[in-house]
Structure 1
Amino acid sequence: MASDDISQLADALSQTHVGDGELSYKGLGLKLDSGEPVEGLVREIEQYQGLRALRLEGNTLGVEAAQAIAQALESKDLLQRCYWSDMFTGRLRSEIPTALRSLGNALMSAGTRLTELDLSDNAFGPDGVKGIEQLLKSPSCHTLRELRLNNCGMGIGGGKILAEALMECHRQSAALGAPLRLRVFVAGRNRLENEGASALAKAFQLMGSLEEIHMPQNGINYAGIIALASAVRQNLELRILNFNDNTFTKRGTLAMAQALRHLRNVQVINFGDCLVRSEGAIALSAVLRDGLPILKELNLSYGEITEAAALVVAQAVMDKPHMEKVDLNGNCLGEEGCEALREFMENMDKADMVGSLSDDEGEPDDEDEGDDNSENDDDDGASDEDNEEFGEIVNGNGITREDSPANLQRQKEITAFLSGPSAEKLLQLKEMQINLEEQVDASEPNKAADVLLKIASLYSDNPHTKRAVVEASDAVLKKLLSGSTFQSYCFLSALLVMMGLLKGEGKVKKVSLIPGQLLCLEHAVQQEYFPHHHISLLHVFLSRNGDALKSCSSAREKLSSALEKRCHKH
């Protein structure tokens, strides 16, 4: 070895931090293959007594160097923390699994009990995961608390191998009476997609111990997000959720919102660049109102959220005592919407909380309203299937529906009314003491909104008809608004879409509104059963999208006035 190279190595090793049980070669840029360069490092490892942490990140290890280091580690039974990110730069991908296997075998041979393992920024792919598979299954990882595999190119295959290894580790450790309790999981930029994410979700659900999940930029769409939401719900100690730059859309956001209802310790939520959209933002707002008591940061940036929905989010976080930041940048508020949001935050003395809105995308095009098929495999747009999906998401939390009425004649009358509403049919139902509220279900928000609008369409000056319409709509709304805030917000969201006040996903058709429907709502919003935060939600959308109701201008003004009075009264 040239004397200059030896001198350079000596200088690098002289910078090594030694202390507190940690030996660090971090960022020295060492190219370690065989011979003298690695021999000096190996000697230091061997001579270090009580080694608890080894930092090798920012260097590059060949197979022979890894084998030499591994031999030195075989006697280091106290080692707990391995910081081994970015240590294969310039190496053949085929070399990395062999090097990892050598290091892993050494740790197992030494009988280490790891608490942290960081292999981020090593582009080892699925084969690299195979290189650490046995280590992850072994007793050396029964005590693992933090696993960091960011930017490793694992892909779907690697995600599945990793998931199975973690589940096997949990099974073996649980059999010994001390189950794996992983707290931090980091796997961003790994192209896990739906299959890899779903596999890992099973592992998360089994462990139930996670406090942080970081999985940004993995090409996951709603199917994978729904699977992850099921796992999130089982990890009650979660503090940080980072799924930035995946694709939630409505279905994924509803599932994640439903899961968040069960958590009390979440401090940071990062759903930025996830296409949460306005309907998803409303669902999350419901959760913000009812739960997440110690939330500090919420990132819903670049999510195609419109002005009214952004204001609903802002209103929902106002009572959070620990709230520090709400990121709504890069959405579709428009100039006036950005100004309205800033003004609202300033009026609440929270101007610093909202941050920059400099990348706002502007208001969405009107011609895109109400029919969005932009993601072919994310949302097929069928409203019935949307209802079915929603029903699965909220299963066990909704209102039980009678699926088989004993009286077939009653069902025939109800079906006849819903297929062709008329005042005569409504009065006939009343005479037969048939209650239309039995036909609505909080887990089917689109159908519930459709039933309400059909009833309200019959509103008239005729006293008998008016009374029947008001009584029926009151009964339906009482039922739909008496459940959880999450369910009632989803119903109101569906109602707003049908009324043309909110852009929705899929093929939910807007109703051609008539004044009577707005007048029926005017009556409803003045009743005690209509909670104030529901009034606030409707008021925001009506005030921001009043042009959508031009054909009913007089009735719209009456409804707006009623909403204003309720808002000010509160």
Structure 2
Amino acid sequence: MASDDISLLADALSKTHVEDGELSYKGLGLKLDSGESVEELVREIEQYQGLRALRLEGNTLGVEAAQAIAKALESKDLLQRCYWSDMFTGRLRSEIPTALRSLGNALMSAGTRLTELDLSDNAFGPDGIKGIDQLLKSPSCHTLRELRLNNCGMGIGGGKILAEALMECHRQSAALRAPLRLRVFVAGRNRLENEGAGALAKAFQLMGSLEEIHMPQNGINYAGVIALASAVRQNPELQILNFNDNTFTKRGTLAMAKALRHLRNVQVINFGDCLVRSEGAIALAAVLREGLPILKELNLSYGEITEAAALVVAQAVTDKPHMEKLDLNGNCLGEEGCEALREVMENMDKADMLGSLSDDEGEPDDEDGDDDSENDDDDDASDEYNEENEYGEIVKENGIRREDSPAKPQSHTEITTFLSCPSAEKLLQLKEMQINPEEQVDASDPDKAADVLLKIGSLYSDDPDTKRAVLEAFDAVLKKLLSGSALQSYCFLSALLVMMGLLKGEGKVKKVSLIPGQLLCLEHAVQQEYFPRHHISLLYVFLSRNGDALKSCSSASERLSSAVEKRCHKH
């Protein structure tokens, strides 16, 4: 090693600091290639008694240098925290696993009990994970509390290797009656995609101890999000969820919303740039109304959320005493929508909570032909997680599925016949037979439930017997659909709004050609006690913002809007 280099190294090492059991070489920019290049560093490690934390981030280690440092660590059994991010800049990818394996073997040999391991910003790919998988499985990691692997290029393969290592660590530690209780997991920018995310979800579910999950920018779409949602539900101590810049769409958001209903400790949710969209935002608003009691921050930026849905979210945070920040920037509100949102927040005395809206995308196009293209991300997604089984359970709470219905076979046949071709005569016949249409309403399928309701409403007429039968059936169906959880009822109302043309939906659900009778049935329903105030508020927002969608039934639309407004402002 040249004398000038030795002088530079000595000067750099003189700037290291030692405190509270920590030896730090952070950010010195040292290029450490050979054993000779780290002699001073090794000497300091060897001479430091009670070493508990070692910072090597911001330097670059070759294989020989790593082996020399590893040798020094073999006697450091008290070491708990390894901050080793950005440690291989300029190194061949083939070198990194060897260097990591040397360091890991030293930790295992020393009998360390790690609590933190940070290897972020090391672009080592799947092979790098292979370099630490034995360490992760070993007793040295049975005590691990924080694992940071941000921006490591793990890919699907690395994600699977990591997941298996964590599960093996948990199995071995659980056998010793001291199971792995990882609290913080960070793995953003790793191209994990659905398969990698799904594998890690199994590990998360097994551990059940996570308090923070950070997995932004991983190319995960709804199938992987559904798998992660199942794991989220099994980690009751979760405080921070960061899935920024993945692709939730409606299906993933509904799955995550259902999982969030069961969590009481969440403080930060970052679903920004996740294509949550309006229906997903409404589902999250439902969860805000019935759960998440100590939430502080909610990021739904860049999610293609429209004005009315954003207002529903804003109203839902009213009763959150700990809320500090609501980020709805980069959505599709338009100038008037942004102003309306600011006004709502000001009226609730929460103007300071709302972040900037400077990057708003403006109001979306109203062309109906866009609906199918919006679902392309979902159609291309992997079916590995069996969307029908997973998604079919998302909004099922208190509803009755058709196959579980207690209705008699005759009732099933009669109602099916009625729904296939509804008429006033058939509805009156059902009433005479004491068969109730709501018996066969599938409350776990909001789209079909909304379709049934509108079919019943389409039979409305001024004939007294028909009118009475239609309103009774309409009330019975709607009462059932609004009596479940807020999430279930909000999902149903979203589907109804889509069919009525008041909300742009996602997927293949199309709006129907409304007739006045359907709106008159709704006018009647919103005046009934079974129709909760917060549901009235939701309808009011959409009717007041998108009322033009009902102009084909202008008179009935005005009556409905008037009834909703009166009920909404009634004290």
Under a length normalisation based on structure 2, what TM-score does the superposition of the two structures give? 0.97
Q: Which residue of 2 aligns with 1:85?
A: 85
String of CA shifts for 1:83-108, please: whole Å, max 9, x gaps.
00000000000000000000000000
8 Å Cα contact 2:163/2:200 also seen in 1: yes
8 Å Cα contact 1:399/1:441 also seen in 2: yes
Q: Structure 1 residues 541 and 462 mapped into 2: Cα distance closer, same or farther (>3 Å)?
A: same
Larger mean CA deviation between 259-268 and 462-471 belongs to 462-471
String of CA shifts for 1:485-526, please: whole Å, max 9, x gaps.
000000000000000000111111211000110010000000
* Corresponding residue pairs, total: 569
Q: Structure 1 residues 453 and 434 mapped into 2: Cα distance closer, same or farther (>3 Å)?
A: same
8 Å Cα contact 1:371/1:508 also seen in 2: no
The CA distance in 2 between the partners of 1:72 and 1:323, in whole Å, is 48
The CA distance in 2 between the partners of 1:381 and 1:473, in whole Å, is 38
String of CA shifts for 1:48-82, please: whole Å, max 9, x gaps.
00000000000000000000000000000000000
Residue 151 in 1 paired to residue 151 in 2? yes
The alpha-carbon deviation at position 411 of structure 1 amounts to: 2.9
Q: Structure 1 residues 522 and 120 mapped into 2: Cα distance closer, same or farther (>3 Å)?
A: same
SS of residue in 1 equivalent to 2:177: coil
The alpha-carbon deviation at position 415 of structure 1 amounts to: 2.0
The alpha-carbon deviation at position 399 of structure 1 amounts to: 3.2
Q: Which residue of 1 aligns with 2:120?
A: 120
The CA distance in 2 between the partners of 1:173 and 1:88, in whole Å, is 31
The alpha-carbon deviation at position 392 of structure 1 amounts to: 2.5
The alpha-carbon deviation at position 407 of structure 1 amounts to: 4.5
String of CA shifts for 1:419-456, please: whole Å, max 9, x gaps.
11111111111111110011112211011000000000
8 Å Cα contact 1:373/1:380 also seen in 2: no
Q: Structure 1 residues 411 and 545 mapped into 2: Cα distance closer, same or farther (>3 Å)?
A: same
Larger mean CA deviation between 252-261 and 374-383 belongs to 374-383
Q: Structure 1 residues 553 and 377 mapped into 2: Cα distance closer, same or farther (>3 Å)?
A: closer
8 Å Cα contact 2:458/2:518 also seen in 1: yes
Larger mean CA deviation between 26-35 and 208-217 belongs to 26-35
Q: Structure 1 residues 408 and 397 mapped into 2: Cα distance closer, same or farther (>3 Å)?
A: closer
SS of residue in 2 equivalent to 1:87: coil
8 Å Cα contact 1:62/1:95 also seen in 2: yes
Larger mean CA deviation between 481-490 and 433-442 belongs to 433-442
The CA distance in 1 between the partners of 2:398 and 2:275, in whole Å, is 26
The CA distance in 1 between the partners of 2:431 and 2:129, in whole Å, is 66
The CA distance in 2 between the partners of 1:307 and 1:470, in whole Å, is 32
The CA distance in 2 between the partners of 1:493 and 1:341, in whole Å, is 20
8 Å Cα contact 1:82/1:117 also seen in 2: yes
The CA distance in 2 between the partners of 1:550 and 1:167, in whole Å, is 58
The alpha-carbon deviation at position 393 of structure 1 amounts to: 2.2
8 Å Cα contact 2:66/2:99 also seen in 1: yes
The alpha-carbon deviation at position 568 of structure 1 amounts to: 0.8
The CA distance in 1 between the partners of 2:549 and 2:407, in whole Å, is 42
The alpha-carbon deviation at position 135 of structure 1 amounts to: 0.1
Larger mean CA deviation between 462-471 and 80-89 belongs to 462-471
Q: Which residue of 1 aligns with 2:163?
A: 163
Q: Structure 1 residues 463 and 204 mapped into 2: Cα distance closer, same or farther (>3 Å)?
A: same
SS of residue in 1 equivalent to 2:383: helix
Identity of aligned pairs, percent? 91
The CA distance in 2 between the partners of 1:459 and 1:169, in whole Å, is 64
The CA distance in 1 between the partners of 2:33 and 2:181, in whole Å, is 36
Under a length normalisation based on structure 1, what TM-score does the superposition of the two structures give? 0.97
SS of residue in 2 equivalent to 1:428: helix
Q: Structure 1 residues 498 and 396 mapped into 2: Cα distance closer, same or farther (>3 Å)?
A: closer
Q: Which residue of 2 aligns with 1:481?
A: 482
The alpha-carbon deviation at position 409 of structure 1 amounts to: 3.9
The alpha-carbon deviation at position 398 of structure 1 amounts to: 3.7
The CA distance in 2 between the partners of 1:436 and 1:383, in whole Å, is 37
The alpha-carbon deviation at position 380 of structure 1 amounts to: 3.9
The CA distance in 2 between the partners of 1:383 and 1:399, in whole Å, is 29
Larger mean CA deviation between 500-509 and 192-201 belongs to 500-509
Q: Structure 1 residues 398 and 108 mapped into 2: Cα distance closer, same or farther (>3 Å)?
A: farther
The alpha-carbon deviation at position 395 of structure 1 amounts to: 4.9
8 Å Cα contact 2:407/2:440 also seen in 1: no
Q: Structure 1 residues 200 and 103 mapped into 2: Cα distance closer, same or farther (>3 Å)?
A: same
The CA distance in 2 between the partners of 1:360 and 1:506, in whole Å, is 24
Residue 223 in 1 paired to residue 237 in 2? no
SS of residue in 2 equivalent to 1:375: helix
8 Å Cα contact 2:113/2:141 also seen in 1: yes
8 Å Cα contact 2:254/2:283 also seen in 1: yes
Larger mean CA deviation between 384-393 and 457-466 belongs to 384-393
Residue 140 in 1 paired to residue 140 in 2? yes
The alpha-carbon deviation at position 3 of structure 1 amounts to: 2.7
Within 5 A, what are the aligned runs for 1:418-433?
418-433=419-434
The alpha-carbon deviation at position 416 of structure 1 amounts to: 2.1
Q: Structure 1 residues 399 and 546 mapped into 2: Cα distance closer, same or farther (>3 Å)?
A: same
Larger mean CA deviation between 16-25 and 410-419 belongs to 410-419
SS of residue in 2 equivalent to 1:378: helix
String of CA shifts for 1:454-499, please: whole Å, max 9, x gaps.
0001111111111001100000011110110000000000000000
The alpha-carbon deviation at position 377 of structure 1 amounts to: 5.5
The CA distance in 2 between the partners of 1:167 and 1:393, in whole Å, is 26
Larger mean CA deviation between 403-412 and 112-121 belongs to 403-412
SS of residue in 1 equivalent to 2:407: coil
String of CA shifts for 1:270-295, please: whole Å, max 9, x gaps.
00000000000000000000000000
8 Å Cα contact 1:96/1:124 also seen in 2: yes
The CA distance in 1 between the partners of 2:383 and 2:158, in whole Å, is 36
Q: Which segments of 5 or more consecutive residues in structure 2 lack a partner in the other structure?
A: none
Residue 236 in 1 paired to residue 233 in 2? no
Q: Structure 1 residues 90 and 494 mapped into 2: Cα distance closer, same or farther (>3 Å)?
A: same
Q: Structure 1 residues 457 and 393 mapped into 2: Cα distance closer, same or farther (>3 Å)?
A: same
The CA distance in 2 between the partners of 1:501 and 1:18, in whole Å, is 63
String of CA shifts for 1:163-212, please: whole Å, max 9, x gaps.
00000000000000100000000000000000000000000000000000
SS of residue in 2 equivalent to 1:385: coil
The CA distance in 2 between the partners of 1:219 and 1:476, in whole Å, is 40
Within 5 A, what are the aligned runs for 1:275-314?
275-314=275-314
The alpha-carbon deviation at position 128 of structure 1 amounts to: 0.2
Q: Structure 1 residues 387 and 208 mapped into 2: Cα distance closer, same or farther (>3 Å)?
A: closer
Larger mean CA deviation between 416-425 and 181-190 belongs to 416-425
The CA distance in 1 between the partners of 2:239 and 2:409, in whole Å, is 52
8 Å Cα contact 2:282/2:309 also seen in 1: yes
Q: Structure 1 residues 440 and 277 mapped into 2: Cα distance closer, same or farther (>3 Å)?
A: same
Q: Structure 1 residues 290 and 211 mapped into 2: Cα distance closer, same or farther (>3 Å)?
A: same
Larger mean CA deviation between 388-397 and 201-210 belongs to 388-397
Root mean square deviation of aligned Cα: 2.1
8 Å Cα contact 1:382/1:506 also seen in 2: no
Larger mean CA deviation between 510-519 and 413-422 belongs to 413-422
Q: Which residue of 1 aligns with 2:461?
A: 460
Q: Structure 1 residues 309 and 507 mapped into 2: Cα distance closer, same or farther (>3 Å)?
A: same
Q: Structure 1 residues 262 and 110 mapped into 2: Cα distance closer, same or farther (>3 Å)?
A: same
String of CA shifts for 1:302-335, please: whole Å, max 9, x gaps.
0000000000000000110000000000000011
Q: Which residue of 2 aligns with 1:188?
A: 188
The CA distance in 1 between the partners of 2:410 and 2:36, in whole Å, is 92
Larger mean CA deviation between 69-78 and 426-435 belongs to 426-435
String of CA shifts for 1:8-33, please: whole Å, max 9, x gaps.
11110011011210000000000001
Residue 388 in 1 paired to residue 387 in 2? yes
The CA distance in 2 between the partners of 1:522 and 1:44, in whole Å, is 79
The CA distance in 2 between the partners of 1:553 and 1:506, in whole Å, is 28
The alpha-carbon deviation at position 412 of structure 1 amounts to: 3.0
The CA distance in 2 between the partners of 1:499 and 1:352, in whole Å, is 35
Q: Structure 1 residues 99 and 397 mapped into 2: Cα distance closer, same or farther (>3 Å)?
A: farther
8 Å Cα contact 1:381/1:508 also seen in 2: no
8 Å Cα contact 1:381/1:506 also seen in 2: no
The alpha-carbon deviation at position 36 of structure 1 amounts to: 3.6
Q: Structure 1 residues 31 and 367 mapped into 2: Cα distance closer, same or farther (>3 Å)?
A: same
8 Å Cα contact 1:382/1:507 also seen in 2: no
8 Å Cα contact 1:383/1:446 also seen in 2: no
Q: Structure 1 residues 134 and 495 mapped into 2: Cα distance closer, same or farther (>3 Å)?
A: same
8 Å Cα contact 1:129/1:162 also seen in 2: yes
